[in-house]
Amino acid sequence: MANGAAGASGLTRAAQSVAPFLVLAGLWQIASFNLPKFLFPSLVDVFWRVVDIFIDWTEFRNVLATVARILAGLVGAFLIGGALAMLMNRSRVADRFFGPILNFFQGVPALSWVVFAIIWFHGTEPRIFFIMLVTSLPAFAFQILGALRAVPRDLFEMVLSFRPTSVKMFRQLTLPAILPDILTAWKVNLGNASRVVVVAELVGATGGVGYALLQQQQVFDMAGALAWTLQLVLFVLIAQWIITAIETRAFRYRAISERSA
């Protein structure tokens, strides 16, 4: 009985999650019957445009280029942001020095960074990498810093009483304590990065999803614009699903603890 109730509850939650998208799709399809195609193309047309992008290597290569730019920028921002967060957590001087700078960077619009990158750098890839790096860096640094400061002091002192090495302290206490916040930071920054990379690719890039979107805009191809947008949405959904799977596996002990309680 309990398993049946849990299954029914899961189906209800799934239906509630899907229902808004079905309503939105239905409204869009109704609009496509009554309005010009360049404004509201049929969802069937959009679907086949998505398929065309997947099966045409020349077009799908643009998707892969954008994904590579997102991941490169996020990895760079994560490594530098994590190093800054650990430094700021250990040193008040570093915290007072880097904190205001990161706050200032966080307030600069992405479009401004695009302009700066065009002036400072030659070549598309260095420009886009710089833009992705500086727009994601503050979020990673502050989120990891907040996680480090949330580690309970008494737990830290208890582990310290066993005189562990710095590596063991990080591996057995610090990393497990901050990993949930790190994974959440990746989920959040993936969505932000997918929006920023399109802005970066709109200016000066000769490939990528942003460049493809600019081409669709020039010919007023709404079906193509939606299809290219869905490529990024699909990438973010897949990446977040992978992170959730890692989170579930890494913290499977929580479910055991809850059942024991």
Domain hosting residue 134, numbered range: 43-260
Q: What is the CATH number of the domain that holds 48?
A: 1.10.3720.10
Cα–Cα distance measured from residue 104 to residue 80, given in angstroms and rounded to the nearest whole number: 17
Does residue 7 lie in a domain region?
no
Instruction: Report how many domains make up the chain.
Output: 1
> In this structure, what token pair is assigned to residue 50?
């998505």
Write down the mean pLDDT value for the chain: 84
Does residue 244 lie in a domain region?
yes
Does residue 20 lie in a domain region?
no
Segment among 83-97, 129-143, 189-203, 226-240 with least mean pLDDT: 189-203
Does residue 165 lie in a domain region?
yes
Does residue 170 lie in a domain region?
yes
Please report the pLDDT score of residue 80 as a whole number.
95
Please report the pLDDT score of residue 254 as a whole number.
58
Q: Phi first, then psi: what are they for 231, rounded to 5°?
A: -60, -45
Cα–Cα distance measured from residue 177 to residue 102, given in angstroms and rounded to the nearest whole number: 24
Identity of the amino acid at 87: L
Does residue 23 lie in a domain region?
no
* pLDDT tier for residue 143 given thresholds of 50, 70 and 90: very high
User: pTM of whole model > 0.85?
Assistant: no
* pLDDT tier for residue 260 given thresholds of 50, 70 and 90: very low
Does residue 124 lie in a domain region?
yes
Does residue 26 lie in a domain region?
no
